[in-house]
Amino acid sequence: MLDFVKGDPKAPTGNMIAFCKVIGKNPFESDGSIIAVHVVVSNISAKENSFPVVVFPPVSLKNEQELSRVIGFQQKCDVVRLENFQIPSESEEQEYMNDRLEQFNDLVRDYVDLYQKYYETVSPKLGEEIKLLAGPQEGKSQDSEEETLKKLQDLLKVGAGPVDFSPVIRHIKTHFPQYDIHNFEKSIHQDQTEIASLYIKKFFAIHEERYEAAALFQARIMQMESARP
């Protein structure tokens, strides 16, 4: 059950800030007493029963006042409280982090379900509207989402060039718009193989609904890109 402190669970906005208080060690920033994560659900890119989600990397905030300022800046958002973050001991840190990751993934899935049900209630002809916007279809997509991501992975493994990636990238842009394939394409053109590999790992994490893992991969990408000369 999601613990809403702001917003209406019967009419979610698709824009959520989830936060928890930190007791003891903060793995992101030593002087932060709050950990917060921004989650956005897209209805623009929705296809049938699939509502793409973006989970931004977790951030550490100094105190509740700073959290209030962040929330106040958002015109429309839902705020959900998580249970306190407290690592039991150094030896149990990894197991605890894994447990919290699973709990967060469940929370994101629950929030997306709430949003989807609400959106389908206010827009009962969603499926027909999406088909009209998408235009006539030429038949079923040749490759499934997972098969397409594996093609990206295989091409990167054999050191393929930008031209070899183009058909797969076009396919993703058309059929799987929830992935930021433009940034992946950019890393290929710049010969940033390690960053491209992280993008593929992030895509697989999103596909498997491991949203916290996807956020951590994105944080690593941003860190590497900022370190580039």
The number of C-alpha atoms within 13 Å of 74 and in the hemisphere containing its C-beta is 18
> What does pTM read for this prediction?
0.59
- pLDDT at residue 122 greater than cutoff 80: no
Specify the pLDDT at position 138: 46
Both tokens assigned to 185: 């394409």
Instruction: Collect all residues with Cβ–Cβ distance below 8 Å to 3 and sequence separation of at least 6.
Output: 80, 81, 82
Higher pLDDT, 177 or 107: 107
- What is the gyration radius of the CA atoms in the chain, in angstroms? 19
Mean pLDDT for the stretch of residues 158-170: 88
Mean pLDDT for the stretch of residues 91-107: 90
Specify the pLDDT at position 6: 93
Specify the pLDDT at position 117: 87
Mean model confidence pLDDT for the chain: 85
Higher pLDDT, 139 or 190: 190
Specify the pLDDT at position 140: 43
Instruction: Collect all residues with Cβ–Cβ distance below 8 Å to 220 and sequence separation of at least 6.
Output: 198
Higher pLDDT, 177 or 168: 168
Specify the pLDDT at position 61: 94
Instruction: Collect all residues with Cβ–Cβ distance below 8 Å to 187 and sequence separation of at least 6.
Output: 193, 195, 196, 199
Pairwise CA distance, residues 91 & 95, whole Å: 9
- pLDDT at residue 132 greater than cutoff 70: no
Contact 26, 32 (CB under 8 A): yes
The amino acid that residue 185 corresponds to is E
pLDDT band (50, 70, 90) for residue 49: low
pLDDT band (50, 70, 90) for residue 34: very high
Model pLDDT for residues 63-79, shown as the tens digit of each residue: 999 999 989 888 789 99
Both tokens assigned to 29: 């920033």
The amino acid that residue 187 corresponds to is S
Q: What percent of the chain has pLDDT over 90?
A: 43
pLDDT band (50, 70, 90) for residue 141: very low
Instruction: Collect all residues with Cβ–Cβ distance below 8 Å to 160 and sequence separation of at least 6.
Output: none
Q: What percent of the chain has pLDDT over 70?
A: 88
